[in-house]
Structure 1
Amino acid sequence: MTRARLLRGVVGAAGFLAVGELVIRFGLSRDLVFPPPSAILYEAVLLLADRDFLMGALATLTNWALGLLVAVAVAVPAGVLLGALTPMERALRPLLEFLRPIPSVAIIPLAILLIPGDELMKVSVIVYASVWPILINTLYGMHDVDPLAKESLRSFGFGRLAVLGRVSLPSAAPFVATGIRIAAGIALIIAVSAELLAGGVAGLGVFVVQAGSGNRTDLIMAATFWAGAFGLLANVVLQAAERRLFRWRLVRTGAVS
């Protein structure tokens, strides 16, 4: 099943690139200069030997990983606490629903003005963007806990913390994992966006800005290709971890046999 899905993905990507190659080479106006997929992939391969690009990619991924880790450390305990204490959640829910829809990219200029230090600013914005999907998914997971299972443990004399550790947290864990996987993609988008707007010494966004100043569309697209590849790789790894850790849930829901 997994191999068939992978094969379909490869065939689909190859078909998309082939159509793009034909359209750009033969279908676009001569006045519109845009590199075909073959040129973009060629430059993407060459970037693997470009020290400036590699250092920039490392800087972006470092900020991404740090921001995501901090978001997990903040959002998971907060989600568990709010999910376990219904009155507190009801009191804070309006504030959460007000803050959550604010586009994270929109706060980057404000963060540039308020937060000293280039790296601290970028990590802070990544944390802000990543917290919401993890927090909301954790809350959903806490609400999805089977009340009968909790009552069964209470009837045997288990306290609130024991019920939380034995029933609520294991039941909510798949939701938390999904929230982290969603947040990983958002965090990468914000990491690059912050570099595009704030600049800096190194980063994928900084590399794109420098390539744009030299009218190197091929380098812009090649760097964008690697940003997408990093996001795809992170999603695949996290999804595989979900399937391995929570196979019992997939079996129960019929996702796997």
Structure 2
Amino acid sequence: MTSSTLPDRGTARSAIRWFVHGIGSLGGVVVVLLLAELSTRTDLLPSRFLPPPTETFATLFELLGGATAWIAIAETLRSWALGLLIAVLAGVLLGLVVGANELAYRATRPIVEFLRPVPSVALIPLVFLLFADNLSGGTVFLAAFASLWPMLVQTTYGIRNVMPTQVDTARSFQIRRMDVALRVVLPSAIPYIATGVRIASTVALILVLTGEIVVGAGGIGQQINEARQGSAVAAMYAYVLLAGILGVILNALFAAVERRMLRWHPSHREASE
């Protein structure tokens, strides 16, 4: 047996494990949907307020056949992407400064610990005041504020967890401080940053949808609110389902990119074995 066959076996084992996990997860979803279908069809749950899943899926497919749903998806994704981009850029830059400097870390830690638990929905009145003429900008602000903190915390911890011997070795070769930060410190913190991006992505989507529902900005959240006000219960749940599917897709995409980019990291190598 040659060593060249080992990667093939590892790939096959990973594929089998992924297939088994996928079947198990899909089976759980099917069971829940069947129970919900039976409960609503037999009036164990009031179908007036909770339509059967088959009706919700049928309504969703009908909505996806028109332009309104796709426009709402595009508007939600635009606000989500802008809010996440702002949070990632600000979180990484601030995290580099705070994590690399002990004085900055101690000075900003009380501020971060105070602001991080503040619910972003508590800022909605401020959004109405600041973004009265641009409600979409208000949802971007909410998403950026909420997703900034996981990015900042993860980047800071990643920078502070870099082994001092790595930095000392780089400096012993008289490498410039900026090059040490970019070539030694930042690559070592990338796994933490990647986790922060994945968490921030979910948080940003939640806040965008919340802002669209409460503030009234265009997007999936606004369609949920309009369906509720019009007593279109099936359409309301269809848009809720659409938001959930969108969240699952985005999380899966970020997880796949993270696994591919961090194949060199020990934690990802061990997980794939």
CA contact (8 A) 1:44 1:222 kept: yes
Aligned: 1:124 with 2:141: yes
Helix, strand or coil at the partner of 1:247? coil
Give the TM-score, by structure 1 length. Answer: 0.94
Question: In 2 relative to 1, CA 33–88 (structure 1 residues): closer, same or farther, beyond 3 Å?
Answer: closer
- Aligned partner of 1:142 in structure 2 is 159
Q: Which residue of 1 aligns with 2:63?
A: 47
Q: Which runs of 5+ in 1 are unaligned?
A: none
Q: 1:252 to 1:183 in 2, by over 3 A?
A: closer
Contact 2:39 / 2:45 at 8 angstroms: preserved in 1?
no
1:66-81 → structure 2 map (5 Å cutoff): 66-81=82-97
Structure 1 residue 207 and structure 2 residue 223: aligned? Answer: yes
Work out which of the residue numbers 186, 204, 213 in structure 2 matches 1:169: 186
Q: Is the 8 A contact 1:250 1:256 kept in 2?
A: no
Deviation beyond 3 Å, 4+ runs, structure 1 = 29-33, 250-253
Aligned match of 1:22: 38
Note if contact 2:75-2:219 (Cα within 8 Å) is conserved in structure 1: yes
- Please say which of residues 155-164 and 38-47 is displaced more in the overlay: 155-164
Give the partner amino acid of 2:123.
Answer: I
Percent of residue pairs bearing the same amino acid type? 36
After superposition, what is the alpha-carbon deviation per residue over 1:158-200, rounded to whole angstroms, capped at 9, x for unaligned? 2322221222100101111111111111111111111111113
SS at match of 2:51: coil
Equivalent pair of 2:224/2:236 in contact (CA under 8 Å): yes
**Secondary structure of 1:181 counterpart:** helix
Query: Counterpart amino acid of 1:217?
Result: V
| 1:65 and 2:81 are equivalent in the alignment | yes
Contact 1:243–1:250 under 8 Å retained in 2: no
Q: Distance in 2 between matches of 1:48 and 1:226?
A: 10
Question: Which whole-Å CA distance do the structure 2 matches of 1:239 and 1:183 have between them?
Answer: 13
**Alignment check: 8 A CA contact 1:21 1:38 kept:** yes
Aligned residue pairs: how many? 256
Task: For structure 2, list consecutive stretches of 5 or more residues without a partner in the other structure.
Answer: 1-16
Separation of aligned partners in 2, 1:143 and 1:251: 18
Change (3 A) 1:30 1:154: closer
Q: 1:233 aligns with which of 243, 249, 254?
A: 249
111-120 vs 26-35, which moves further? 26-35
Q: Is the 8 A contact 2:40 2:46 kept in 1?
A: no
Task: Name the Cα RMSD after superposition.
Answer: 1.7
